[in-house]
Structure 1
Amino acid sequence: MVEEAAKKIKELLKEEEFFAAVVGGSGIELPGVEREIPYSEIPNMPLPAVPGHKGVVKLLSLNGKKVLFFEGRFHYYEGREDWEIRFIPELCSLLGVRVFIPTCASGAVSRKAAESEIGVIYDHINLLGRNPLVGLIKSYGARVFVNGKKFYSKRLVNAFLKKALELGIDAVPAVLAANLGPNYETYTEIRLLEVLGVDCVSMSTVPEVIAANFYGMECVALTVFTNDTLNPEASHEEVLEKAAERSAKLGKLIGEALIHL
């Protein structure tokens, strides 16, 4: 199923493999697009159902490095099955992607995050109650027991933090928690996340990182802090607005960092 999608992308983009792939969170866009393909033209590709996720894969060229940008992802709170959550990471592995970079919009939990704009994720807590690798042991055996302590590449985390410092971009290392959603957190849940050492919370990214590691790619995740979770008012519209406002800096950071990897 995914093999057909990979074949079609190679055919339409006229490229055989790609250096990196970026998955866009709500409202996040990247500049420098050469060509693009709607998800609807890719065989077996699921279609996004959430506002801010357009459902387009774009080809970017960064200093000669071919980068795929998936503008639209899939969330468990939509009622998705595991194969849909795994689809983009598995597709990227078949396209020769070496560096996998999911991005997301997140709510700031720690005061460090609340006072910053962008987070470079170096660890996570999976509170989804779901794991995209469930059931794969039937096909892959012991290979599914991936090491969570190696999910995030120290090399990539350090590279992105260093580049952010050089560019004057307000970025901090962060621990991400993934909640199932689609509701935003209660005050008591936020206090619990603080006790657990969480800097920010989202409804995505974590399962993609798990799947990408399973498929053998080097990972780092980036987040735009779109709201302070302690603010009594929270809305998807606010998330999209703040993500759009800060996505230019995120795009610049990704572009500059990838050029030097």
Structure 2
Amino acid sequence: MEQIQKRIDLAVDYIRSCTNRTPTMGLILGSGLGDFANTLDDAVIIPFGEITGFPVPSVEGHAGNLVFGNHNGKAVVALSGRVHYYEGLPQQEITIPTRVLAKLGVKTLLLTNAAGGVNLDFSAGALMLISDHINFSGQNPLLGKNMDEFGPRFPDMSDVYTKTLRQSLKVKALDAGIALEEGVYAMYAGPNYETPAEIRMLRTMGADATGMSTVPEALVAAHAGMQVIGISCITNMAAGVLDQKLDHSEVVETANRVKQEFLKVVSLAIDLAVE
């Protein structure tokens, strides 16, 4: 963990050499959803590849930029793209950006992802607030020596996805004409999609959606004392729900189709951010 700590510190130092902004709201934007970063005013864009110690994504739909800017008068920082566990790096490494955001002053973190619908009442294009998660990745980013500057050895996880923010966002979205689903997100390591048998198991265990990200970042954010909002874009129904095979192009296509609704919900979430 000493090496991870060193990379975090180097990344923070480099970012501080580029900008002295101290946003309290952070965004991690998932597959096909990174365009929100392009809407920020007075933007400062730093490619991941230029940041010492930062992991760089290799998946289509993940730009790999750290973007500082303003939205409706609030200073925010957005990660346009993320590195996934299935890309071969340990979870302690793929969550370096989340810890960097904490050191930059972020108090509220919005996590977004593209997910497969497990709940049979969902349909492709729905937006789901994450109420809780199930970690089926087989790993945990908090393994190893505890990083005391961020949080305790045994952090509480009873309210990872902050209930008060979740409830407020649901009401605000409904007032704006957007009905948000709500449910449990299950993470598998990937990169393959889950089998129909695995999806049936997840449904039995209470999962509503499944994907290959978000949980490591949420665990690290909760450890660091951040408030977290999670939003899944249900870009496809999971394996076995429909009589068709799954394809990543469908994920990107559906994310693009609901982009405007998604951007509106993200905007509403920023308004709820802790100052």
Which interval holds the TM-score relative to the shorter structure? over 0.9
* Equivalent residue number for residue 124 of structure 1: 133
**Aligned mates of 1:21, 1:213 — CA distance in 2:** 13
Alignment of 1:1-261 (within 5 A): 1-15=7-21, 17-28=22-33, 29-30=35-36, 31-33=38-40, 34-114=43-123, 117-137=126-146, 140=148, 143-229=152-238, 230-231=241-242, 232-261=244-273
| C-alpha deviation, 1:121, in angstroms | 0.4
**Aligned mates of 1:93, 1:254 — CA distance in 2:** 20
**Aligned mates of 2:272, 2:220 — CA distance in 1:** 25
**Greater share of residues in helix:** 1
- Contact 1:116-1:172 at 8 Å conserved across structures: no
Q: CA 1:181–1:67 in 2, change beyond 3 Å: closer, same or farther? A: same
Unaligned residue ranges in structure 1 (runs of 5+): none
| C-alpha deviation, 1:219, in angstroms | 0.8
Secondary structure of 2:152's aligned partner? helix
| C-alpha deviation, 1:195, in angstroms | 0.6
RMSD: 1.8
| C-alpha deviation, 1:7, in angstroms | 2.5
**Aligned mates of 2:252, 2:191 — CA distance in 1:** 15
- Contact 2:173-2:268 at 8 Å conserved across structures: no
TM-score by length of 2: 0.89
- Higher mean alpha-carbon deviation, 118-127 vs 62-71, is at 62-71
Alignment: residue pair count? 259
| C-alpha deviation, 1:260, in angstroms | 4.3
- Contact 2:124-2:237 at 8 Å conserved across structures: no
Q: Identity of paired residues, percent?
A: 33
**Aligned mates of 1:185, 1:27 — CA distance in 2:** 20
Residue identity matched to 1:8: Y
| C-alpha deviation, 1:150, in angstroms | 2.0
Structure 1 stretches of 4+ with a deviation exceeding 4 A read: none
TM-score by length of 1: 0.93
